[in-house]
A and B are shown apart, each in its own frame.
Chain A
C-alpha cells in the first residue's frame, strides 16, 4: 500500500504498524521520536498496535529541547 512519510511517497506492506515503520525507516533514537498520523499524535504505547492504512500521512518529529545547565 502507499503512504506518505515525511512528505515522501512510500510503498509499504499492508497493515504495517508504526513500530514496524520506525524500524523500516531506520529512525535514529526512536525512543525520542514523536509520530503523527494524519496530524494525530500517536501515543508511544500504541506504536506496536497502531496499523497504518492506505494514503496515511506519517511524520516523524525528533525531540528538540535543552536547557541552560
Chain B
C-alpha cells in the first residue's frame, strides 16, 4: 500500500513533535482511500490531528480521549475515513516497538512513526502491524507537494 502525505502536514507533525520534546508526541490521520476490489492500494492523508500525549512521557504515549472524540467528529463532518495514527520516538528508530505492536488493536490502521533520535535528520515511516504474529510491515510513504 502507498500512503501520501502533504508536505505541509508532515511539517506540522515535525514541528509539533519537536516542540513536545523530550516527550513522545502523537496524533491521528484521516483521509481517503483508493481500492482495487477489496484491497486498499493507496491512502491519501487529507488531515493530520495533533493530540495531547496524556502520558507526558518520552517512552510512552496515550491519546487524550476528548481530543480523539473531537477529531473523529471532524473526520465525519468532512467525509474522511480514520486511517490510523502517528507518534514520535524521541530517542529510538522509526519502527514499531514491541509495545507499539502489542497495543496496535486496529489491524486496518496505518501506524506512522517519526524518529527524532537524530535531531537534524528526522525519519518518518508508515507501517502496518500484525499484532497476532507480533510483526510489522513497512509501507511506501510519499510526501507530496501541497496543491492549491
Contacts and interface: CB of A to CB of B under 8 A. Distances in A.
Given A28-B105, A29-B105, A66 B100 contact: yes
B106 A68 contact: no
B65 A61 contact: yes
B137 interface: no
A69 B69 contact: no
A7 B77 CA distance: 10
A41 to B, nearest CB: 6
Question: B57, B68, B90: which has the most chain A beta carbons within 10 Å?
Answer: B68
Given A65-B60, A67-B100, A59 B85 contact: no
B72 A61 contact: yes
B61 A67 contact: yes
B12 interface: no
Given A32-B105, A59-B72, A65 B55 contact: yes
A66 B69 contact: no
Interface residues of B, number: 32
A69 to B, nearest CB: 5
A69 B105 contact: no
Interface in B79-136: 85, 87, 89-92, 96-100, 103-106
A66 B99 contact: yes
Interface string A23-34: 000001100101
Interface residues of A, number: 18
Given A67-B100, A68-B58, A61 B85 contact: no
A39 interface: yes
B4 interface: no
Contacts of B85: 64
Interface of B: 24, 26, 28, 55, 57-63, 65-66, 68-69, 72, 76, 85, 87, 89-92, 96-100, 103-106
